[in-house]
Structure 1
Amino acid sequence: MNSPTGAIGTAPLSGGHLADFFARDAVTVARDLLSCHLLVGETGGRIAETEAYFPDDEASHSFRGPTRRNGAMFGKPGNVYIYRIYGMHWCLNFVCTPGSAVLIRAIEPDTGIAEMISRRGTDALPQLCSGPGKLCQALGVDMDLNDRLLDRAPFSLTRTAPVEILTGKRIGITKNAEAPWRFGISGSRYLSKPFR
């Protein structure tokens, strides 16, 4: 299913604008993040794929309430929550209302590409950031960046023009797997997996 989203902007989201953008329903934020330009230091690109998670969602890390591991997920809107999967890959999430967040699944790389290629060990652009672990490796994201706001270094997030959206089921989960809370830019070559 395709539908437009987003709002045109040229300045990075910060302060009250950041809080207003993220203090909303995670599905709404996940859709509106598509095409936003994300920078981590000198590397980044356009967000191409997202997933939404809620505190009453069995697939969410926040389902059983705050813990030492998920504490950042209960931070302010626009907070960064990072965790590790399979003991090897970092995942980057942006907090919406407390306990809800959006997983950044893929970006279309356009800034600092040489550095991202070096970090990833591949020059295949469509695969450079086409998955949560890949994009974290390319952007140099690890636990040192957990529990920071997106309007503070090294992060920068800028809203851009609307895009057409694809909607589907989330990937790699077994609980609440039918929820249609995965979103991607229609026609993008940089998605982690095709939408069905």
Structure 2
Amino acid sequence: MFQTSVNLSPDMTAEERVQAIREAYNQDRSQMTLMLAHQLRIQEVEILRALQGDTAYELDSSRWEEIIRAFESLGDVTVIVSNGATTIEVTGQFGKFFNKDGFLNIRTDSLDMHIRGWELASVFAFKKPSHLDKHESLSFQFYDKRGNSAFKVFLNFGGVAPSAELQQKYTEFIETFKKPG
């Protein structure tokens, strides 16, 4: 497992902290941000915020449901959910959406999700080399109010470089859903 030599100090200014996080990330850009956050003892969302404009692009989280519904156009994707003790990866398609009891539900043959939108706080588009094989991976990552990953949606995962079509769709999502301001 990758080990960073960067330490975050409470005496750092906000800019120094961002630079230290970027330095830690740049030591191995293919490392999992979940593991880097654990090593730095910070919330994973702080890493993506530090990489804003480089490889991460914050999207308008108030449009979370619209973003998720737009995933239907992507075809097969890999959804990853990790709770700190277990990580689950599933390949499937978004669709068959319905709202019930405050949840946005996805019920396709390959994907069954129930999303509590009131818990979501941040959404990012994130591009980085895969920790598996260094191919560029394109993802959309949703974070809860505590800064923990709620779930991640990968357009390509595990040994497949993104096609030109996927790269175009990824760029269109960023342009359509970018955070105002």
Q: TM-score, normalised by structure 2?
A: 0.28
Greater RCO (Cα-Cα under 8 Å, separation 6 or more) = 1
More strand by share: 2
More helix by share: 2
